[in-house]
Amino acid sequence: MTDYVVYDVFTDTAFGGNQLAVIPDATGLAEDQLQRIAREFNFSEVTFVYPPEDPANTAKVRIFTPTMEVPFAGHPTVGTAIALRDAGATGNIILELGIGPIPCTYLDNKAAFTVTAPLERLSTPDPALIAAALGLGTEAIKTSTHAPVQASVGLPFVLVEVQDRTALTQCQPVTDHFRTAAARYPSDMDFAIYAYARDGNQIDARMFAPLDNIPEDPATGSAAAALAALLTDISGRAQVLNILQGAAMGRPSYITAQTAPADPIPVTISGAAVRTMQGTLTL
C-alpha cells in the first residue's frame, strides 16, 4: 500500500486554491499505474515523488494530469515542495522535473520556485477563433499589448488578454472550438487557454483546458509564469504580478509572479498550500 496526501495550493485556507494529490514515495508503484491513479483522483494534477537521480538534489517529481504526463506545472511544484517540508525537509530544496532541476525556497507558509526556461512563442492563434472558444465576441479580446499567443516556459498556454473583468466573468468555453483550435495550432499539450484582465499589477485570470478533462482550473502557476515572462519580454521591464484565479469557481487562488529583464527571463512563482486530506492507495 502507498500513502498519499492532498493539498489545496495557492491558498492558506482549506477548500480554496487548486487541489493536488502527492504520492510522497512512488517507488512501489508500477509504471502503468501512474496515469490510472491520476485519472482516479481527477484533479488537474497529481505528483509522484522518487529519490533524486542526482544525490545533490532533493527529489525527482513526475507530474500527471488526468490524461497525460507533463514536464512542468506550477501548483504541483509549490504543493509538492510544501508537502516535502511538512514531511521533514529543511532548508532550500531542488526538485528534478521534466524541464530540469528547479530550486525551491520557503518563507513562512509559502514556497517559491524559479524557472529559467526560455520563453517560447509557439503560434499566434486567430483572435476570432479564440474568442469563439471562450464564448465571447471578438470585441472582448484586447490586443493593444499583445494578440493571443501560444507561449511556454515549460508548458504551452494560449495567453489572451480580455477587455475587463466583466468580459472575463462572461467566458463560457465552447469545447468544439477548442478542438478546432487544437487541430489548427498543435502543441505538446492539449489546447489550453489562459484568459486574463489586467489592472496595473493586479491580474484576474481563468484557465480552460476542456480537452484535458479540466473544464476550468482554479490555479495555474505554469501559465502565470508564461504570462509574466511574456509581459517582461514585451515591456523590457521587471514584473511583479499579483494574480487572482479561481474566484469564479468559488476556489480563490493567490499567485505571485516576479521577473527580471534577463535572457532567459527568470520567473519566480510563490504561494501557500494547506493539507486537507491523507490516506492510502490500496493497490
pLDDT digits (tens, 9 = 90+) for 197-231: 999 999 999 999 999 889 999 999 999 999 999 99
Q: What is the mean pLDDT of the chain?
A: 96
Q: What torsion do the CA atoms of 154, 159, 165, 169 make, to the nearest 10 degrees?
A: -80
Which of the residues 31, 40, 45, 139 is marked catalytic? 45
- Cα dist. 124→98, 181, 196, 197 in Å? 25, 11, 17, 19
Residues 44-58: tens digit of each pLDDT: 999 999 999 999 999
In angstroms, the CA 29 to CA 48 distance is: 9
All structural domains of the chain with their residue ranges: 2-114+271-281, 120-267
Domain 2-114+271-281 and domain 120-267, same fold? Reply is yes
Confidence at residue 89, expressed as pLDDT on a 0 to 100 scale: 87
Confidence at residue 177, expressed as pLDDT on a 0 to 100 scale: 98
Decide if 45 is catalytic. Answer: yes
**DSSP H/E element including 62:** strand 59-64
Residues 99-158: tens digit of each pLDDT: 999 999 998 889 999 999 999 999 999 999 999 999 999 999 999 999 999 999 989 999
- What CATH code would you report for 120-267? 3.10.310.10
Assign 194 a pLDDT band (cuts: 50, 70, 90): very high
Residues 245-265: tens digit of each pLDDT: 999 999 999 999 999 999 999
Count of Cβ atoms closer than 10 Å to residue 46 Cβ: 27
CATH architecture of 2-114+271-281: Roll (3.10)
